[in-house]
Amino acid sequence: MDIAINTSNSRYQVDKNGYYGRFGGAYIPEMLYPNVHELQSKYLEVLSDPSFQQEFEALLKDYVGRPSPLYFAKRLSEKYKAKIYLKREDLNHTGAHKVNNTIGQILLAKRLGKTRIIAETGAGQHGVATATVCALMGLECVVYMGSIDIERQAPNVARMKMLGATVVPATSGSKTLKDATNEAIRDWINNPVDTHYILGTAAGPHPYPDMVARFQSVISEEIKKQLLEKTGSAHPDYVVACIGGGSNAAGAFFHYLDEEEVKLVAVEAGGKGVHSGFSAATTQLGTIGIIHASKTLLMQTSDGQIVEPHSISAGLDYPGIGPMHAHLYESGRAQFLDATDDEALAAAYELSALEGIIPAMESAHALAKLKDLPLNTDDVVVVCLSGRGDKDLDTYIRNMKK
Amino acid sequence: MQNRIDQLFAKKQHGVLNIYCTAGFPKLNDTLPVMTALQQHGADLIELGMPFSDPLADGPVIQDSSTKALQNGMSLHTLFTQLAEFRQTIHVPVILMGYFNPVLTYGVEAFCAKCAEVGIDGVIVPDLPMAEYESEYRPVFEKYNLHLIFLVTPETSEERIRKIDSLSKGFLYAVSSSSTTGKDKNMNDQQAYFGRLKSLQLSNPVLIGFGIKDKATFDTASAYANGAIIGTAFIKAIEHSQDIDKTVETFISGIIQ
């Protein structure tokens, strides 16, 4: 495994100023300059250090349980008349892809001499993955979580507490992921010296989108090897991933970005319908602006106020997308679709029934679009199954009774 | 015409009092009455907050005032309508403070032109970084004689402070501690930083902000800089005010007399 260091020639990767096309940058208040500048100036050096890579790889292997399987989903393939493979990030320790990034960032934080870790979380998967690595490394951990999300993701709140983290409810604004991220950034402003902010998605100020994508790039690195072994070709016809901020999509797309024959499909949360007023489909509803210190596409009013999104999935309930994805959308390199709450639920029940796998609500959005892709029987499709559905059981049970 | 901020500092170098209030707070149409009272009772400068849904650099009090103002119906368009004729009665310099997203959405040039038209003298946009300002937006702000005021913090290196000083116009906003607005931190710990700033002999005047809340903190800040900025304490004072003029008079007399 490597952390994808040599990528500077790609037109889809970050440039030296922290931009992807016209998206990205670091629109931070001066109070955050030392923290962010320290990361900008050191992250590539740390990530390319052989001893860092060795430690990262060893933990991914023995602690996370990588490589995660690439599973040929036979019955799902029969149903959709294509060759469908699932990248089983749900089998990682802590139950989602999020841990790939938290392992990387906690090792980075230690090398920067930080003693306190903060994080934001939506569904709680990133919060759990952060609390986990903090326990592993013996560092203090504070996780900000929207008070609405605390209610709808109770098992993950309990996990974080058991792992020793302090969970702080974000009660401002829409009380979800956006507001949890605001609170984490405010905490960082107030604790500039000893604290590292483990941002969980491929958004935020440069270098976070690039750093998170690199840590998650292990997903597509493994897909390539595994697919080559299984099919004789490292190149699928489609790679499909759900997208909120975009970390699992960034990881699943990463090593295919410059291989234009591989179609990249990002599935946003349509909520109750893109034009229902209850949606999180950022590329459909968004315009360019600044959210969480990044210039990207976001959902906002004509007056530039960020709007409150809606998704049944707490992990996709975010009014922006990472700048790399905004660029993939605008350049046409990736195709953006959206799945409604109901479509995602149906896909979750379907995967459970056909394959014996209960997916996370987020990942179910990616599965939900299999029915809309123009698939041929020979097409190889890789779906990133970003997480498992234990945390969503309440939602699944409630909707089964309907 | 010379910028009113420059005119102010040309005649007053000590104890300059800048008070922050959120536009459209506590009620939508309080913007002008608050400004009028501030001028009447001795504020040298008025910093008017443009409310934003996600004010990252602000603590809970100013966040809440921003949320309230948005609920009241405040927007940049409404604010400029309220300010259309304010220069007939208000003569102190006025600065708009707010986040970059609403300005970007309004259109940076349209925003600057509108500021110049109504008589705004300067702008503070904490999340517009120096590099982006320099490479992209500086000519527009300068075309409309609008001063962009940058922040420096205790963690800002001397080299960077000098760079910020060279780009900033009007004055430098020295954040008294690394924090969001409204946090109490020990003023004594900050005096070394204030002293360091003073010793740099910067080309811009310096106003100290964040954590200035009463006569004692205002006087300490004023001993090291050209004056200070009060925000959170003022928002708390007017939040439930029944008589804006009286509240402002009482508040300011507690600071400067």
CA distance A233 to B187: 65
Q: What is the mean pLDDT of chain A?
A: 95
Of A30, A189, A291, the CB nearest to B152: A30
pLDDT of A112 > 90? The answer is yes
pLDDT recorded at residue A192 = 85
- Provide, as residue numbers in chain A, all residues whose Cβ is less than 8 Å from the Cβ of B129: 25-28, 33
CA distance B53 to B31: 19
Q: How confident is the model at residue B185 (pLDDT cuts 50, 70, 90)?
A: low
- Provide, as residue numbers in chain A, all residues whose Cβ is less than 8 Å from the Cβ of B75: 303, 305
Does B129 touch chain A if contact means CB atoms closer than 8 Å? Answer: yes
Does A33 touch chain B if contact means CB atoms closer than 8 Å? Answer: yes
Number of H helices, E strands in chain A: 16, 14
Does A25 touch chain B if contact means CB atoms closer than 8 Å? Answer: yes
Does A289 touch chain B if contact means CB atoms closer than 8 Å? Answer: yes
Q: How confident is the model at residue A35 (pLDDT cuts 50, 70, 90)?
A: very high
CA distance A341 to B190: 52
The pLDDT > 90 percentage for chain A reads 90
Does B198 touch chain A if contact means CB atoms closer than 8 Å? Answer: no
Interchain proximity A31–B59, CB inside 8 Å: no
pLDDT of B232 > 60? The answer is yes
Are B5 and B95 in contact, with CB atoms under 8 Å apart? yes
Tokens of B34: 């608050």
Give φ, ψ of B235 to 5 degrees. -60, -45
Of B53, B60, B156, the CB nearest to A30: B156
Q: What is the pLDDT of residues A348-394, one digit of tens each?
A: 999 999 999 999 999 999 999 999 999 999 999 999 999 999 989 98
Active site residues of B: 47, 58
Are A385 and A348 in contact, with CB atoms under 8 Å apart? no
Tokens of B136: 């992209």
Of B52, B99, B179, the CB nearest to A190: B179
pLDDT recorded at residue B211 = 86
pLDDT recorded at residue B180 = 74
CA nearest neighbour of B203 among B150, B124, B156: B150
Q: What is the pLDDT of residues B38-53, one digit of tens each?
A: 999 999 999 999 999 9
Q: What is the pLDDT of residues B107-163, one digit of tens each?
A: 999 999 999 999 999 999 999 999 999 999 999 999 999 999 999 998 899 999 999
Tokens of A341: 């709450």
Distance of CA A314 to the CA centre of its chain: 12
Q: Which residue of B has its CA nearest to A188?
A: B179
- Provide, as residue numbers in chain B, all residues whose Cβ is less than 8 Å from the Cβ of A292: 56
Does B128 touch chain A if contact means CB atoms closer than 8 Å? Answer: yes
Q: How confident is the model at residue A402 (pLDDT cuts 50, 70, 90)?
A: low
pLDDT recorded at residue A176 = 84
The pLDDT > 70 percentage for chain B reads 97
Q: What is the pLDDT of residues A99-108, one digit of tens each?
A: 999 999 999 9
Tokens of A193: 């010296």
Q: What is the pLDDT of residues B88-104, one digit of tens each?
A: 999 999 999 999 999 99
Does A184 touch chain B if contact means CB atoms closer than 8 Å? Answer: no
CB-based contacts of A175: which residues, under 8 Å, 6+ apart? A146, A147, A148, A149, A169
- Provide, as residue numbers in chain A, all residues whose Cβ is less than 8 Å from the Cβ of B53: 173, 305-307
Q: How confident is the model at residue A6 (pLDDT cuts 50, 70, 90)?
A: low
- Provide, as residue numbers in chain A, all residues whose Cβ is less than 8 Å from the Cβ of B76: 303-304
With tokens 């004789």, the residue in question is A232
Kindly report the nearest CA distance between residue A184 and chain B, in angstroms: 10
Report the pLDDT averaged over residues A114-140.
96
pLDDT of B182 > 80? The answer is no
pLDDT of A145 > 70? The answer is yes
pLDDT recorded at residue A123 = 82
Give φ, ψ of A384 to 5 degrees. -80, 110
pLDDT recorded at residue A282 = 97
Interchain proximity B56–A293, CB inside 8 Å: yes
CB-based contacts of B177: which residues, under 8 Å, 6+ apart? B153, B154, B183, B185, B189, B190, B210, B211
pLDDT recorded at residue B190 = 78
pLDDT of B184 > 70? The answer is no
Q: What is the pLDDT of residues A245-288, one digit of tens each?
A: 999 999 999 999 999 999 999 999 999 999 999 999 999 999 99
Check A77, A294, A313, A386 and give the catalytic one: A386
CA distance A12 to A284: 21
What's the pTM? 0.95
* Kind plus residue range of the DSSP H or E element containing B85: none
Higher pLDDT among residues A80 and A179, named by residue: A80
Q: How confident is the model at residue A78 (pLDDT cuts 50, 70, 90)?
A: very high
pLDDT recorded at residue A3 = 62
